[in-house]
Amino acid sequence: MYWFTNDDRAILEPQNDIFATALLVLGFVVFACVASKAYIAHQDSAFALESYEQASLIAQSIAHSQMLQGSRQDLISAEKLDALSGQQADIHALSLFFDVFSPNVRFQVDVSTEDGEHIWHIHKPASSTPPMGQIAASVPVTLELNPVQQVPGTLTVKLFKDMWNS
Amino acid sequence: MKRISDLLQNERAWVDFVLSKTALILASVVVIAAIYHFAVTMNEVSQQRELDMLSTELLTYIDKVGSSPDEVNVTYTFNKERFSNYQKQRTTIFISGEYIVINADIDGRCIISAKAPAFRVYPYSPSVLCDDLRSEYGSSGNITEPIRAEHADVIGYLTARTGEVSIDTSDQVHIQKIFIYFVDDLNVEKIGYVLVYQ
Across the interface, do B31 and A100 touch by the CB < 8 Å criterion?
A: no
Residue B28 to residue B32: CA distance in whole angstroms: 6
Q: Please count the CA atoms within 13 angstroms of the CA of B157 that sit on its side-chain side.
A: 14
Residue in B158, B187, B190, B176 with CA at minimum distance from that of residue A97: B190
The answer, yes or no, to whether ipTM is higher than 0.90 is no
Q: What is the pLDDT of residue B119?
A: 92
Residues 52-71 of A with CB under 8 A from B: 53-54, 57-58, 60-61, 64-66
pLDDT tens digits, B3-42? 788 777 777 777 777 888 888 888 889 889 988 988 888 8
Does residue B81 fall inside a structural domain? yes
Closest residue, chain A, to B25 (C-alpha): A21
Strand ranges, E, within chain B: 73-76, 90-95, 100-106, 109-115, 121-122, 165-167, 173-183, 188-197
Residue A17 falls within a domain, yes or no?
A: no
Strands B173-183 and B165-167: unpaired
Q: Is B32 part of a structural domain of the chain?
A: no
Q: Which domain holds residue A69?
A: 24-161
Distance of alpha carbon B108 from alpha carbon B111, whole angstroms = 10
Mean per-residue pLDDT for A125-144? Answer: 77
A10 vs B46, more confident: B46
Give the residue among A121, A149, A151, A141 at the shortest CA–CA distance from A60.
A141
- The reply to whether A33 falls in a domain is yes
Mean pLDDT computed over B157-179: 88
Q: What is the DSSP letter of B119?
A: B
**Is A166 inside a domain boundary?**
no
Distance, in Å, from the CA atom of B144 to the CA atom of B122, rounded to the nearest integer, reads 21
Could you give the number of structural domains in chain B? 1
Average pLDDT over residues B138-159: 86
Write out the residue range of the structural domain in which residue B111 sits.
Answer: 38-197
The percentage of chain B sitting over the pLDDT mark of 90, rounded to a whole number, equals: 17
Answer yes or no: are the C-beta atoms of A161 and A107 closer than 8 Å.
Answer: no
DSSP 8-state assignment for residue A14: G
AA letter at A156 = T
Query: Would you say A95 and A103 are in contact if contact means Cβ atoms under 8 Å apart?
Result: no
Query: CA-CA distances (angstroms) from residue B180 to A61, B69, B79, B130, B189?
Result: 17, 13, 32, 10, 8
What pLDDT is stored for residue A164 in this prediction? 47
Lowest mean pLDDT among A97-101, B10-14, B93-97, B176-180: B10-14
How many domains does chain A contain in total? 1
A36 touches chain B (CB under 8 A): no
B15 in any annotated domain: no
Q: Answer yes or no: do A104 and B66 touch at CB < 8 A.
A: no
Indicate if the pLDDT at residue A34 is higher than 90: yes
pLDDT band at A162 (very low <50, low <70, confident <90, very high): low
Is residue B29, in this structure, part of any structural domain at all?
Answer: no
pLDDT (tens digit per residue) in B41-100: 888 888 888 888 888 889 999 999 999 888 889 999 887 776 666 655 678 889 988 889
